[in-house]
Amino acid sequence: MQHSHGSDVAHSGVCPQDLLARRINVLGPHTPLFYDEPLHLVRGEDVWLYDHSGKRYLDVYNNVPHVGHCHPRVAEAMYRQASTLNVHTRYLHNNIIDYTERLTATFAPELSMAMLTCTGSEANELALRMARHYTGGQGIIVTDFAYHGNTEAVAEIGTGFMPEARHTKRVKAFAIPDSYRGIEGVSQDQLAAAYTGQIDRAIEEFAAEGIPFAGMLVCPDFANEGLLNVPEGFMEAATALVHNAGGLLIADEVQAGFGRTGKHWWAHQWFNITPDIVTLGKPMGNGHPLAGVIARPELINSFTSHSMYFNTFGGTPVSCAVGMAVLDALEEDNLLANAVSTGAYVAAGLRKLQLKYPIIGEVRDRGLFFGVELVTDPQTKTPAPKAARRIINLMKQQGVLISVIGVHDSILKLRPPMPFRPEHADLLTHTLDKVLNQVSEELSHG
Ligand SMILES: Cc1ncc(COP(=O)(O)O)c(C=O)c1O
């Protein structure tokens, strides 16, 4: 297939300031944008992005282009299927069967059935409906800094970001399990029990308020929460509590899935647990809107026999061809193994920087997902959001794209496309070294 980069030329005459003004006019001022000076991108390839002036950026942020920006295999599969047939799922077609068979094979045997959607929000909404239908409950437990999407039911569980979450009785939150800061007065050994104690209490409170319990929905990587390392045994104990109370465990793998964390396909597989429902999205279609729910057959059959579920664009032949090409690329390019080896290499580089710069309080790594906790002082562990913001903007100026997460926006979020290699890691750590040096100087001069 021919790739045309003619749009670069067309775009190169556009002034980003004009584009920004027009954007605000037509999309409003509150549609989020990254960076103090927004970036005007025109092209992507592998781990690289190019702006309107032709400047190249190393992408250490975007997980949606999972197998690399504009992967030729994915683009080709999309083009070929879109030129042959694209219809909704109320006809027989091989693609959806081949794809969901292959996808479900990466899960525990009991998680053998799938429903496809277009977004992670839809997948989580569907998972909530399914869990509430199956258990007859309403109450859902989430972390106290959760984001799981943008529909009404999902906004209600978005404790970190959505006003809707403050005005509902159906949702209770527990503090993000955090081995770095822990809970004052609680020893490391007791941490898992202290955090699961909060889940126990939430279940009791639902019962006391007459709200039957439906389950717990968490990202098993606690990604939006700051990629916290949870105390050992926490997930297993929390899952047992939820199940003993008749609830279901929903694992939101929208960010953490498809081998991102290395070694395993799914982040929940790091723990000795099997969720009842798993939700998928973002990297699933490498940028094409493909998402879904994987669950035990009785959950899906019970829900779909009660409530018709149809999603016009979910699981079309084109979407499934794209999803299949993503799986092919992951396997053929050995990207899970790369997440393990390059991930360890990046983590080692970041830990070297931690020894040099006291502003780095903790480096967290899971495969090709990193959280770098910035603090004003390693003893007090006071979050350093201003420095974080300065760092991401300076990194961008130097041609490396990263972002921030966490309750205080003080944790650098590094989550590159999966073909990230050691030479890219060297560029990342070299640039971060320079930027940390500059920011440390600035801080020392007040
Ligand atoms: C963990 C998690 N779940 C769900 C979603 C929602 O996915 P989507 O934007 O595709 O609706 C997001 C999006 O950021 C997410 O981070």
Q: What does the pLDDT look like over 241-293, one tens digit per residue?
A: 999 999 999 999 999 999 999 999 999 999 999 999 999 999 999 999 999 99
CATH 3.90.1150.10 placement within the chain: 6-67+334-444
Q: Whose CA is closest to atom 7 on ligand 1? A: 120
| Nearest Cα residue to atom 6 of ligand 1 | 149
Average pLDDT over residues 130-136: 98
Q: Is the CB of 224 under 6 A from ligand 1?
A: yes
In the reported structure, the alpha carbon of residue 392 is separated from the centroid of ligand 1 by a whole-number distance in angstroms of: 22
Indicate which residue's Cα is closest to atom 2 of ligand 1.
148
Ligand 1 atom nearest to CA at 118: 10
Q: Is 147 in the pocket of ligand 1 (CB under 6 A)?
A: yes
Topology, domain 6-67+334-444: Aspartate Aminotransferase, domain 1 (3.90.1150)
Cβ burial 377-404 (10 Å sphere, 16+ → b, else e): eeeeeebbbebbbbbbebbbebebbbbb
CB of 149 within 6 A of ligand 1: the answer is yes
What pLDDT sits at residue 217? 98
Check pocket membership of 143 for ligand 1, CB cut-off 6 A: no
Residue 114 DSSP SS3: strand
Instruction: Determine the Cα–Cα distance for residues 104 and 115; give it in Å rounded to an integer.
Output: 11
Interior angle at CA 144, CA 142 and CA 145, nearest 5 = 100
Q: Is 292 in the pocket of ligand 1 (CB under 6 A)?
A: no
- Axis-axis angle for helices 72-82, 317-332 (nearest 10): 160
Distance (angstroms) between ligand 1 centre and the Cα of 119 equals 7
Bridge-based pairing state of the strands 113-117 and 291-295: antiparallel
The CATH number that domain 73-332 falls under is: 3.40.640.10
Residue 219 Cβ < 6 Å to ligand 1: yes
The residue whose CA has the least distance to atom 16 of ligand 1 is: 255
CB neighbours of residue 101 within 10 Å: 11
| Most informative mutation of 34, 143, 148 for ligand 1 (most atoms within 8 A of CB) | 148
pTM assigned to the model: 0.95
Provide the pLDDT for residue 5.
44
Q: Is the pLDDT of residue 12 over 60?
A: no
pLDDT one-digit tens code per residue, 71-102? 999 999 999 999 999 999 999 999 999 999 99
Q: What is the pLDDT of residues 46-76, one digit of tens each?
A: 999 999 999 999 999 999 999 999 999 999 9
Ligand 1 atom nearest to CA at 219: 1
Which tens digits make up the pLDDT trace of 377-395? 999 999 999 999 999 999 9
Residue whose structure tokens are 């910035």: 374
Which structure tokens are listed for 133?
């239908």
Q: Is 124 in the pocket of ligand 1 (CB under 6 A)?
A: yes
What is the pLDDT at residue 15? 82
Lowest average pLDDT, out of 78-82, 123-127, 189-193, 328-332, goes to 189-193
Q: Is the CB of 275 under 6 A from ligand 1?
A: no
CA of 295 to the centre of ligand 1 (A): 18
CB 62 near ligand 1, within 6 Å: no
Residue 63 Cβ inside 6 Å of ligand 1? The answer reads no
User: In which residue ranges of the chain is CATH 3.40.640.10 found?
Assistant: 73-332
- Residue 305 confidence class, pLDDT cut points 50, 70, 90: very high
What is the best residue among 125, 227, 279, 282 to mutate for testing ligand 1's pocket, by most ligand atoms within 8 Å of CB?
282
25-53 average pLDDT score: 95
What does the alpha-carbon distance between residue 400 and residue 428 come to, in Å, rounded to a whole number? 7
Q: Rounded distance, CA 399 to CA 393, Å?
A: 10
Sign of CA dihedral 83, 86, 91, 92: positive
pLDDT in tens, 170-198: 999 999 999 999 998 999 889 999 999 99
Cβ 287 under 6 angstroms from ligand 1: no
What is the pLDDT, as a whole number, of residue 3?
41
Using CA positions, which residue lies closest to atom 15 of ligand 1?
Answer: 148
Which pair of tokens denotes residue 391? 């760092």
- C-alpha to C-alpha distance for 12 and 5, rounded to whole angstroms: 11
- Strand-pairing partners, residue 412, are 372, 404
